[in-house]
């Protein structure tokens, strides 16, 4: 999956990829203060070809708010809401919303769902439907944070660590290896990194074609930009 992070008061963006194995579960957000966790499970293509870099995507998300007693599992097939002992399963084929004082879920059929946890956070999960007979690709999900201002400073995870404003200094913009993709040097979190100008897609408005977001690409699984290495974010279960 690819990640896009706004920097410098949303004036620019950093992007990076995380390569993982299908079936691996990555921690996306963890806030120990509010007991809020988002984990995502990776899926691969339908066929695995030798000697070709394998792309992975998020196929399932698990969202837990222990304080509210809410767990939500979102897969490309359905959305399951666990609230206390109650379990409600929504198919992606229906437009629906479920509201409680503390949280709400709103599903736009075959498109996206918006999850609001009280005043704490609002997220959007976008469903990417692929032609079901496509030989290679399969349905996958995208995760977007609309609002995280009430999550604590202790929030971490592949995305969560960037909920605090990231200050990055970009300088020494120079021609890169690919024509039209300049390289630059970025200083962030005390590291000096080589970054390459490119585009990544934001699929919130147009889930089919996406909107191009210009960003500075951090190579090698976001090395130096993310805390630690990708395997630090691997967890054992969705919840």
Partner 1 sequence: GRTLKKRSIEEHGKKMDLELHAMKIESKVTSRFAHTVVISQVLNRANVSKEAFFEIELPKTAFITNFSMTLDGVTYVGVVKEKEVAQKQYQQAVSRGQTAGLVKASGRKMEKFKVSVNIGTKKKVIFELTYEELLKRHLGAYEMQIRVKPQQLVNHFQIDVHIFEPQGIAFLNVDANFLTNNLTSIVKNTTSGTKAHVSFKPTLQQQRKCPDCHETILDGDFIIKYDVNRDLSAGSVQIVNGYFVHHFAPANLARIPKNVIFVIDHSGSMSGTKMHQTNEALVKILGDMDTKDHFGIIIFDDTIDTWKGTIFQATLENVIEAKKFVKSISARGGTNINDPMVSAVRLLDKAYQDKQLPERSVSMIILLTDGHPNSGESDPTRIQQNVKNAANGKYNVYCLGFGYDVNYNFLEKMALENNGVARRIYEDSDAPLQLQGFYDEVANPLLLDIEFQYPENAISESTQANFKHLFAGSEIVVAGKIVDNSLDYLRADVVAKTANENLTLQAEVKVSEAENITQQQQYIFGDFTERLWAYLTIQQLLEKRISAETDEKKNLTDRILELSLKYSFVTTLTSMVVTKPEENKNNTFVADKPSEDEKVTRPSFSGYSMGVSSRFQRPVYSYVDSD
User: Is residue 190 within the footprint of partner 1 (CB under 8 A)?
Assistant: no
The residues that bridge with 80 in the sheet, in sequence order, are: 73, 89
* Cβ partners under 8 Å of residue 27, min gap 6: 37, 38, 39, 156, 157, 158, 160, 233, 234, 235
Minimum gap (Å) between residue 109 Cβ and partner 1: 8
User: Is residue 66 within the footprint of partner 1 (CB under 8 A)?
Assistant: no
User: Is residue 96 within the footprint of partner 1 (CB under 8 A)?
Assistant: yes
x/- track of binding to partner 1 for residues 102-141 (CB under 8 A): -------x--------------------------------
User: Phi, psi (5° rounding) for residue 67?
Assistant: -60, -35
**CB distance 210 to 200 below 8 Å:** no
User: Is residue 99 within the footprint of partner 1 (CB under 8 A)?
Assistant: yes
Among 11, 84, 135, 208, binds partner 1 (CB under 8 A): 84
Minimum gap (Å) between residue 194 Cβ and partner 1: 49
User: Is residue 93 within the footprint of partner 1 (CB under 8 A)?
Assistant: yes
* Cβ partners under 8 Å of residue 12, min gap 6: 6, 168, 170, 214, 215, 216
Positions that interact with partner 1 (CB under 8 A): 83-91, 93-100, 109
């Amino acid at each position: 999956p690819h990640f896009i992070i706004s920097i410098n008061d949303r004036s620019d963006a950093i992007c990076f990829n995380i390569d993982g194995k299908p079936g691996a579960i990555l921690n996306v957000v963890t806030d120990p203060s509010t007991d809020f966790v988002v984990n995502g499970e990776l899926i691969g293509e339908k066929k695995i070809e030798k000697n070709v870099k394998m792309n992975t995507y998020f196929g399932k998300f698990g969202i837990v708010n222990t304080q509210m007693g809410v767990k939500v599992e979102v897969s490309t097939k359905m959305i399951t809401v666990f609230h206390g002992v109650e379990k409600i399963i929504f198919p992606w084929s229906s437009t629906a919303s479920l509201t409680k004082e503390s949280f709400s879920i709103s599903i736009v059929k075959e498109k996206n769902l918006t999850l609001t946890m009280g005043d704490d956070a609002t997220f959007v999960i976008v469903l990417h439907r692929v032609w079901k007979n496509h030989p290679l690709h399969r349905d996958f999900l995208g995760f977007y944070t609309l609002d995280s201002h009430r999550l604590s400073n202790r929030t971490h995870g592949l995305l969560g660590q960037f909920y605090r404003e990231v200050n990055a200094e970009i300088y020494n913009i120079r021609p890169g290896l690919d024509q039209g993709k300049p390289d630059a040097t970025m200083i962030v979190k005390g590291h000096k990194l080589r970054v390459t100008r490119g585009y990544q897609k934001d699929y919130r408005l147009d889930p089919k074609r996406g909107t191009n977001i210009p960003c500075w690409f951090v190579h090698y699984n976001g090395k130096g930009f993310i805390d630690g290495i990708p395997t630090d974010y691997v967890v054992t279960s969705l919840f």
